[in-house]
Amino acid sequence: MTGTTHIIGAGLAGLACAAALASRGSPVAVYEAAGQAGGRCRSYHDELLGRLIDNGNHLILGANPALFNYLDTIGARGRITCPDAAIFPFVDLRTGERWTVRPNRSRLPWWVFAPSRRIPGTRWHDYLSGLRLAFAPRSATVAVAMRNTKGPIVERLLEPLTVAVLNASIEEGAAALLWPVMRLTFGAGEAACRPYFARHGLGPDLVEPGLAFLKSRGAEVHFGARLRRFEIDRDTVKALDFGSEMIALGSDDIVVLAVPPSVAVDLVPGLKAPLETRAIVNAHFLLSEPVTLPEKSRLLGVIGGTAQWIFARGNVVSVTVSAADALAERPAEEIAALIWSDVANALDYRNQPMPPHRVVKERRATFAQTPAMLKLRAPTRGRFNNLFCAGDWTDTGLPATIEGAVRSGQKAARHVLARH
């Protein structure tokens, strides 16, 4: 293969595409506008906490084949770890009730027939209501697909799952995006639901090994390289304009655009993309001793508070709040106080003052995963014969998650290899 694939963007979509191509011996050049790779999936050393923290908490599940393929390609599967079983403890701050969701190993979800394993207040046939999502039209929200069903099954399972997966409430989240996740996790047994965690952080374990692999395969990676525009002749991209440098493309060269949708639409004439976004807020608290969560889990689901998911990382508690547009408008100290109150109640730290903390607001964390925005997801291949798109906002069939981003990059790589 003599043609070079020029990948614009070094987030996980761009890295996954580059790794897939480099592993096949295809020449690759990656250009990233920022000074580091990873995009929203990155880590940095926080001076206030004195710890390496992830920009956001991203959950990896056993039902993420594209991500595991990427990790195998770059030789980094051993950098993530998982518990012996899928165990998800929850606490309802309004009532003080605690329970644990434990999917069984077989595909048949017999655990819903055991009262001791069900969510408090639910009956076994309540769980069958989730099958309504399978038959929902693409225009339906989760709430509409579920016929606005109320009760514990919604408040304590379906709504937290929707918010976590779609970064949207059940009233606006697209049912067509939630069903694939339900099918691939709860519908596939315990191993598919098992959570995986980066041993050292998303940057050291997912991003840096990818860059090292690309370097070992002779790929070029350029940081601080912001693409200004494409030079286009009819249906072909002829050159890449980086301002200080113009890179002419040969007849066998291909471009993969792996940037946020707001950047993509400015670069590609006529491109339609989901531009409406939703925020995620993360808060990190440095405690004086390592954190112990129920069931020796690494995460705890929280119902009835501002906090939604608590992650334990040694003596750092990291909390994620999705669908957080309104919360993100508040001052950081106010957000920290609200979240710490929930953490103190959930972990029985009620008599402890708020410890050192860092609040991270990701105002454009994902595109708004609503039925209206779902229609605007771009295909991998558009009208230009040497240009492909990648990113969790493209039409992957999955929500805007790590798995969706990696799948999009690998899909673009397959298009490139087929073109070659």
Between the alpha carbon of residue 317 and those of residues 55, 59, 106, 197, 328, the distances in Å are 14, 15, 33, 14, 19
Among left, alpha and beta (phi > 0; psi -120 to 50; other), residue 237 is beta
Run of H or E residues at 178: helix 175-184
CA distance 107 to 266: 45
What is the DSSP-derived secondary structure letter of residue 168?
A: S
SS3 (DSSP) at 28:
strand
Q: List the alpha helices (DSSP H) in 288-331.
A: 325-328
CA distance 407 to 393: 11
| Confidence (pLDDT) at 1 | 57
118's CB contacts (< 8 A; 6+ apart) are 111, 112, 124
Domain 5-79+199-275+370-419 indexed as CATH 3.50.50.60: yes
Query: What is the domain class of 277-367 according to CATH?
Result: alpha beta
Residue 70 CB-half CA count within 13 A: 33
What is the DSSP-derived secondary structure letter of residue 378?
A: B
Q: Confirm if 206 and 195 have CB atoms less than 8 A apart.
A: no
With a cut of 70, which residues of the chain have pLDDT below it?
A: 1
SS3 (DSSP) at 174:
strand
Look up residue 11 and give its two tokens.
């987030």
CA distance 93 to 83: 26
Q: Confirm if 399 and 413 have CB atoms less than 8 A apart.
A: no
CA distance 65 to 120: 32
SS3 (DSSP) at 90:
strand
Residue whose tokens read 């592993």: 23
Beta strand 299-303 with 88-92: parallel, antiparallel or unpaired? parallel
Between the alpha carbon of residue 197 and those of residues 45, 83, 131, 211, the distances in Å are 18, 9, 29, 20
CA distance 112 to 114: 6
Residue whose tokens read 């987030």: 11
For the chain, which residues make up each domain, given as ranges? 5-79+199-275+370-419, 104-188, 277-367
Count CB-CB contacts under 10 A for residue 397.
Answer: 12
